[in-house]
């Protein structure tokens, strides 16, 4: 007979306990409380703690009311006889994401600079529910994005089969379309649910002139006075987010430049599935209204040139009066054959240039300062390469380091890069606009600008202490991580930012505990603290398989509140857990 083993897994038992205040919390409570063995913290004691340890503006806080709120919330009693905090109440307060969050929730930056001075929360193919090839097109992901604070929505617009209406879909794929008017109505309804600042609709236009005119009617009828239409054909400088509150801006190519692109594209033989409006550095596809094969013979060429010239003329005369008037932010490039030509700054106009992620990466090798100079006035949009069929995303920091305002992401996607995007736009109250750091906007006495390739000194050091975590036992099934025992949690903490600042560190593994207590401290020297994002992940160690995901967050370092803070964690898609959170301490030295 073969030997057998007795499984000892069942000997391990689930245990549920309350989170115990860490030693730092106990010491601070003793320091800031009255009394000996029966210590308690009065509202005045709490005020002193918040001012001296947390660095809060105590003039804005009603401390008596705050103490009462904490007691009511913790003990579920509306009228509480006691008007001070015991140690457990104090710990409850510190570990509450409602009372003691790691960053503020209100707009705190200057919103009166020109629009080009801000990073803008930007979506790519905002209408797709899933992958880039076969998912449904819908207004639902647009609504979700707007409710998250996204401010730039992209719509690819194409004629329907009978050429009498306009659909939104990803061209030359199996994505099922949605009517443009439905998307526009949903944008109007949800545009300012999360933020009062302007929404930009980028139109990837594949329309005939009569349908462009129809789109102009739709936009005018749907948005009315919400539409921002400049008095002049082009703007020398854009108004500020403050001036554009509650407004909708349209960004696309004006008909004349669009017609010239049709001509250029029609004379090229290469086609791609994903044609963006004025992309640089990838193959270009013919637009929908000119999809018939361009013949190679000399005999055919002359008649085709005539037809294209006729189309260009028709586009300019037919669509221009109604459609062109609605374009607030003109997409396109100046005359020239190189990317360096495309990055020339024109004194009399502001425009938008689009680069694929690969084209941007290539440009940063030799044109870094040209990119910075261009983005000080003009808009640079970066979008995912066409091979990201599964709606994944690229690293956003390279775009931000070079001043790109519109780092366009598949918001319905997933993964760590999307978590970074969420983290960046938690800044400034989550309003969708983040003021670019001064170093990206400054011009020196000799007209010099920031060079991302320069070696920079350490300018600030962030100390992070990870005390403990809790909430998994409320948000997860008891058997989610391990069938027969409590989970074995560890945390990963690090920085995303400038290349020299990027690092990840890891705590020890705490075995068999739903409330892991790590009490570990990490130090992060930062060269570009303005763009640094604090990355936090929790995983459950699994000896035989891939470690289980247990939560993540990404926080802008520039907005971190000092002191001991409750840090809420999010799931893979960026949705906040109900209860999962970490107790952490932040200190700048």
- 165: Cβ contacts below 8 Å, ≥ 6 apart: 159, 179, 180, 211, 214
Quote the distance between the C-alpha of residue 13 and its chain's center: 42
Percent of the chain as helix, strand, coil, to the nearest 5: 30, 25, 45
Q: Read off the pLDDT of residues 199-233 as tens digits, 9 standing for 90 and up.
A: 999 999 999 889 999 999 999 999 999 999 988 77
- 504: Cβ contacts below 8 Å, ≥ 6 apart: 492, 493, 494, 535
| Token pair recorded at residue 361 | 């990466």
Q: Are 562 and 55 in contact (CB under 8 A)?
A: yes
Closest CA to 111 of 413, 416, 431: 431
pLDDT of residue 296: 34
User: How do beta strands 166-168 and 178-179 pair?
Assistant: antiparallel
Q: Read off the pLDDT of residues 22-39 as tens digits, 9 standing for 90 and up.
A: 999 999 999 999 876 578
Give the number of residues written for the chain: 589
pLDDT of residue 449: 97
pLDDT of residue 321: 62
pLDDT of residue 263: 62
pLDDT of residue 244: 98
pLDDT of residue 268: 55
- Given 170, 206, 330, 422, which residue is catalytic? 170
- Given 117, 124, 206, 422, which residue is catalytic? 124
**Spatial distance between the Cα atoms of 567 and 539, rounded to a whole number of angstroms:** 16
DSSP string, 117-161: GEEE-EESSTTBSS-TTTSBB-SHHHHHHHHHT--EEEEEEEE-T
Q: Read off the pLDDT of residues 264-308 as tens digits, 9 standing for 90 and up.
A: 666 654 444 444 445 555 433 333 333 222 233 333 444 444 454
pLDDT of residue 2: 45
* Coil, helix or strand at residue 576: strand
To which CATH superfamily is domain 115-441 assigned? Phosphatidylinositol (PI) phosphodiesterase (3.20.20.190)
Q: How crowded is residue 294: how many other Cβ atoms within 10 Å of its Cβ?
A: 16
Domain 460-588 indexed as CATH 2.60.40.150: yes
Regions of the chain short of the pLDDT cut 70: 1-16, 36-37, 256-317, 319-321
- Asked if 75 is an active-site residue, the reply is no
- Asked if 76 is an active-site residue, the reply is no
pLDDT of residue 8: 43
Q: What Å distances lie between residue 25 and 32, 70, 424, 564, CA to CA?
A: 11, 17, 30, 8
Q: Are 580 and 551 in contact (CB under 8 A)?
A: yes
pLDDT of residue 271: 45
Q: How many CA atoms lie within 13 A of 133 on its CB side?
A: 8
pLDDT of residue 337: 81
């Amino acid at each position: 007979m073969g030997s057998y083993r007795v499984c000892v897994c069942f000997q391990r038992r689930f245990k549920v306990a309350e989170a115990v205040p860490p030693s730092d919390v106990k010491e601070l409570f003793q320091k800031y409380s009255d009394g000996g063995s029966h210590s308690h913290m009065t509202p005045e004691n709490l005020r002193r703690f918040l001012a001296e340890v947390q660095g809060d503006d105590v003039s804005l806080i009603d401390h008596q009311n705050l103490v009462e709120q904490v007691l009511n919330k913790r003990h579920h009693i509306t009228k509480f006889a006691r008007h001070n905090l015991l140690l457990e109440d104090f710990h409850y307060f510190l570990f509450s994401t409602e009372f003691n969050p790691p960053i503020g929730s209100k707009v705190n930056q200057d919103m009166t600079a020109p629009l080009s001075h801000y990073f803008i929360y930007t979506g790519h193919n905002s209408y797709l529910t899933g992958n880039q090839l076969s998912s449904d097109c819908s207004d639902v992901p647009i609504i979700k994005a707007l409710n998250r604070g996204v401010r730039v929505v992209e719509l690819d617009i194409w004629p329907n089969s009978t050429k009498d209406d306009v659909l939104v879909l990803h061209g030359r794929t199996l994505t099922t379309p949605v009517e443009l008017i439905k998307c526009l109505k949903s944008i109007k309804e949800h545009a300012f649910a999360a933020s009062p600042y302007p929404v930009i609709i980028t139109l990837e236009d594949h329309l005939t002139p009569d349908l462009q005119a129809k789109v102009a009617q739709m936009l005018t009828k749907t948005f009315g006075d919400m539409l921002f239409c400049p008095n002049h054909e082009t703007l020398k400088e854009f108004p500020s987010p403050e001036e554009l509150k509650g407004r909708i801006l349209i960004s696309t190519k004006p008909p004349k430049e669009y017609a010239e692109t049709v001509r250029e594209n029609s004379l090229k033989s290469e086609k791609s599935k994903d044609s963006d409006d004025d992309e640089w550095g990838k193959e270009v596809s013919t637009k929908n209204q000119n999809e018939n094969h361009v013949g190679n013979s000399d005999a055919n060429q002359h008649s085709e040139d005539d037809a294209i010239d006729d189309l260009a003329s028709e586009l300019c005369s037919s669509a221009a009066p109604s459609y062109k008037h609605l374009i607030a932010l003109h997409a396109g490039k100046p005359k020239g054959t190189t990317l360096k030509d495309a990055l020339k700054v024109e004194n009399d106009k502001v425009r938008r240039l689009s680069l694929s992620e690969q084209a941007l990466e290539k440009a940063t090798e030799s044109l870094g300062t040209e990119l910075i100079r261009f983005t000080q006035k003009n808009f640079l949009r970066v979008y995912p390469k066409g091979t990201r069929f599964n709606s994944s995303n690229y690293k956003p920091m390279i775009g931000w380091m070079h001043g790109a305002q519109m780092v366009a992401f598949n918001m319905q996607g997933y993964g760590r890069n999307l978590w970074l995007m969420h983290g960046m736009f938690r800044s400034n109250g989550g309003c969708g606009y983040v003021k670019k750091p001064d170093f990206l906007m400054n011009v020196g006495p000799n007209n010099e600008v920031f060079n991302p390739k320069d070696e920079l000194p350490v300018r600030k050091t962030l100390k992070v202490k990870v005390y403990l975590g809790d909430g998994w036992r409320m948000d997860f099934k008891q058997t989610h991580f391990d069938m027969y025992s409590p989970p074995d949690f560890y945390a990963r903490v690090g920085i995303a930012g400038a290349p020299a600042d990027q690092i990840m560190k890891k705590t020890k593994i705490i075995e068999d505990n739903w409330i892991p207590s790590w009490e570990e401290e990490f130090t992060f020297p930062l060269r570009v603290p303005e763009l640094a994002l604090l990355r936090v992940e929790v995983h459950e160690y699994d000896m035989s398989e891939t470690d289980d995901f247990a939560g993540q967050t990404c926080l802008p370092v520039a907005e971190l509140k000092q002191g001991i803070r409750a840090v809420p964690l999010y799931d893979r898609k960026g949705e906040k857990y109900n209860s999962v959170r970490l107790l952490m301490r932040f200190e700048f030295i």
